[in-house]
Amino acid sequence: MSDTPRAEPPAARPQATPSAGVAVPSREDAASVPRPASLVDERGTLIERLGIAVTHVSAELAVGTMPVAGNTQPFGLLHGGATAALAETLGSYAAVAHAGPGRAAVGIELNATHHRSARAGTVTGTARAVHLGRTLATYEVVVEDEDGRRLCTARLTCMLVDAR
């Protein structure tokens, strides 16, 4: 385990403002729990194909999980592209929450450093705001395995634009 304590995400709050936390239902609960209007339909997207489940979204923090199974490269390790997709998904959701009504977030830069591999289980990504500006939002995304070991550190910058 790393020397740094693993932060637990804050409890979900009802959405009151664009930057307020919003709980996102799990896939199992999605049929019975109404999704917030600010979130998009994930059916048929890469998010669904990778099995990403976003569990918390606010402007400052987004948390989600992804299974390793089905997201590996030919050598049986978690694919770096799948990890990058998890990072971009979480940072983008948080950036949209920061952007607010009538605005959208467009990823303009993503980098990822892969520290160790995973062969099984579920990974958890946590996107924390580094910069929340009027036109740009930047997030550091840490992806950890079930034992809290850091697998990847990514940084995503999104440009905030008017929605079409």
Per-residue pLDDT tens over the stretch 42-77: 999 999 999 999 999 999 999 999 999 999 999 999
Return the pLDDT at 20: 43
Angle (CA) 142-54-119 rounded to 5° is 55
Return all residues near 162 (Cβ < 8 A) that are at least 6 apart: 102, 103, 104
Q: Cα-flanking dihedrals φ and ψ of residue 50, to 5°?
A: -85, -10
- Top mean pLDDT of 28-32, 39-43, 155-159 is at 155-159
Written as six digits, the tokens of 16 are 């009151």
- Beta bridge pairs of residue 142: 126, 153
Band the pLDDT of 23: cuts 50, 70, 90: very low
1 pLDDT more than 70: no
- The residues annotated as belonging to the active site are 88
CA distance 52 to 85: 9
